[in-house]
Every structure is written in structure tokens, then in C-alpha cells.
Structure 1
């Protein structure tokens, strides 16, 4: 968070999804156009942790959660709202 960039945290490890979530690959592909402003991190869920497996969080640089979900539905809109248009959008 010290870099002033956002964070997309996927708790689906590096898998392709388990039927309940999109998988890290789909989330990574969605956030790629914002990679100059948002860091993508994938990790396995902790047993007994506060979030279920397959969830993802988009965290603003100030630490607030801007978006959460198991699939990238609505993620591009949240990225545009909080981080501007993608780098390749001109």
C-alpha cells in the first residue's frame, strides 16, 4: 500500500476456479490493463480465515475495499471508478 497503488487480492490461489469463483487467471486478465495502477496478488485461502475460498478483493490505496466478489462481474466498473480508464483505452 505504500506505493499508492491499488491491490487486487485473489483468494483462489493460482487455480482456474472451483465452480464457485472465477479463478486467478480470469481476475488477472481483467486487471491487466490497470497493471500500472493496481497490483494483482493471488494466494491460497487460510483455513478458518475471514473470507471463503474463491473470493477476491479490490483494495484502494487508502485501505478501503472498493469491490469484492468471486467473479470479475462488476470489477471493470470498479477499476474505472477508482483507478481511471485502462492504459490502452487512450
Structure 2
């Protein structure tokens, strides 16, 4: 288990991560404060997220806008590129790497 806490500007991260022995499966809880991230590189992993608190607005480079609220789930494909905008959230996440 890895636990990281970091403060940077208006963003606070609190992460608890569990990793399988073969390092292909990662799951955990992730908490963040207000943040805006404009990704120009692909996301890099397929990630399932279930939001426990807060929300996030995802704007893809193709113009698609999706808001995910507490109680909702989303899967971000590793090829995704776009803008991640939030006032803060807590999520449960799962990543599986088959490469």
C-alpha cells in the first residue's frame, strides 16, 4: 500500500493505492481539491473511476463534454486527451495494465 499526501497551490491530493504483486492491477482512493488540467498527451492507462464526492467536467479534444457527479462512474481510455476541470472530488479507481 502506498499513501501520498501533497499540497500544491489550490490542489490537495490524498492517495491510498494498492498494487498487485505483478504490478498489473492498481486500485485505490484518490482525493483532490480544486484543479484544472489541460492534457496534450494521451491519458496513458485505461482507468475506471467511481466518484464518491464532488464532480469533474471532462472536455475531450473532439468537443465532447461530460460531467461526472458523486454516485456516477466513468471509464477513461488510455488514448483520451482533453481538459479535466473540478472544484474537488473523492473517487475510487481501478487500473489494469495488460502490457
| TM-score for both structures, normalised by structure 2 | 0.26
Structure with the higher fraction of residues in strand conformation: 2
Structure showing the higher helix proportion among its residues: 1
Larger radius of gyration: 2
TM-score between the two structures when normalised by the length of structure 1: 0.28
